[in-house]
Chains A and B, each alone.
Chain A
Amino acid sequence: MNIPLNIDWQQILLHLLNFVILAGGLYFLLYKPVKNFMNKRTSYYEAMDAEAKAKVTSAQKLEEEYKTRLTNAEEEIREKKASAVKEAEKAADAVIAEAKAKGNKIISDAQTAAKQEKDKILQDANAEIEAMVSSAIDKVLVSAKENSFDDFLDSVQEE
């Protein structure tokens, strides 16, 4: 059959054969290795990106954790501060009470000592008075040897 435009089946098939060889060769020699390399690079950068993202996520988690810890620590510090204040107040109260007790004791001791001193002074004074009285009596007795009895009586009477 005479096909117009000089179309020739043999030539078409030869062109097809030529192209199939070329396409196959280009695929194995150029397209596939280059694409593999590009895919490898893409996956490398994707892995890098994922790793960076994971690091950012873990850093964010750590940040949150530290923030929580910080908040807890502040709370803890506040609690400890309050308890310390309480304990200090308690200790101060105890010290004050002790001081008061000591003060009271000192006062009572002082009072006792003062009383004792007073008693002693009184006793001494009494003793001194007694001594003075007895010496006065002695003096009187000596000066009024003659009418001592009368004088004595007079003096007693006067007294």
Chain B
Amino acid sequence: MSKRKRGILLAIWIVLIVALLVASLLVGTQSEGRESIQETMRDAVLHDSNKISLFGLIDVNPALISAVLVTVALLVFAACVRIFAIPKFKMVPGKFQMLIEQLVGFFDGLAKGNSPHRNGFLGAYIFGAGVYIFTSTLFELLGIQSTTTEGLPITLPAPLSDINAAIALGCLSYLIILSGGIVGNGLRGVGKTLKDFSLPISMSFRLFGAMLSGLLVTELVYYYVNLSFVLPVAVDVMFTLLHALIQTYVLTLLTALFYGEVSEPHKKKEIKKKAHA
């Protein structure tokens, strides 16, 4: 491409940006018939007003639709990888194979590192949970539009910004930890797990709080049209990526850590025997 052509393209691009910016500022916002910022924020937290119909069966929170979409996308991707990529895996991996292996190896290593005694099931669980949290958090970047049961347009939020999803994942993680305790130590394991009775609540609300804070910041920014240029590149992409990574790591690490703790075999008898000897 010649320098002149490049210059013309650059000029067109800049003119387009300026024209769109000016136009959007001149047109202004039509606040009538729209939700106020308070209503938007409240709905982002509570999901009590906007509902979406799930296959015409029941009305659900938009986050559940997001969760279903994420699940479908992930399963389709996994199926494609299983059918087309895995049979072609080589002993010396390529870039894509390396990425997939790193992903599986990371969660497997996390499970083995934190729970050396029992980690087969744990590895599979934290892999699923980690991939779900990461992908579903990034989902909000797509800004997929849908229509509520009342006919209003709505941007589908991250699934875990719904407290119900966070509670589901937090409680399931706790149940997984409990199962590790039962399998590893029987009744003693149950006792060990129940000792940390606040764990499901803390896990759920930590996840919910982290996801919600990201959502609220972006909702706040997007509410005002004037702020929806340039700024979202930094605010949305960077923050979303960052808290997606952090929350994935935090929940999977905590689950692996507690699972390892409760499933660790009890050694009291051996110590007693040694003391007698």
Contact = CB atoms under 8 A, between A and B. Distances in A.
B222 to A, nearest CB: 22
Nearest to B91: A41
A30 B78 contact: yes
A15 B81 contact: no
A44 B169 contact: no
Contact of B168 (A15, A25, A37): A15
A16 B78 contact: no
A8 B166 CA distance: 12
Q: Provide the main secondary structure of the chain A interface.
A: helix
B259 interface: no
Interface string A30-43: 11111101100100
A37 B89 contact: yes
A71 to B, nearest CB: 44
A11 interface: yes
B82 A30 contact: yes
B211 to A, nearest CB: 13
Contacts, number: 113
A136 interface: no
The number of chain A residues touching the other chain, given as a range, is 20 to 34
Contacts of B41: none
A109 B82 CA distance: 113
A38 B78 contact: no
11 contacts: A6-B47, A6-B164, A11-B162, A15-B162, A16-B172, A18-B68, A19-B168, A22-B128, A26-B127, A31-B127, A33-B82
Interface of B: 45-48, 54, 58, 60-61, 64, 67-68, 70-71, 74-75, 78-79, 81-82, 86, 89, 91, 100-101, 104-105, 107-108, 123-125, 127-129, 131-132, 159, 162-165, 167-169, 171-172
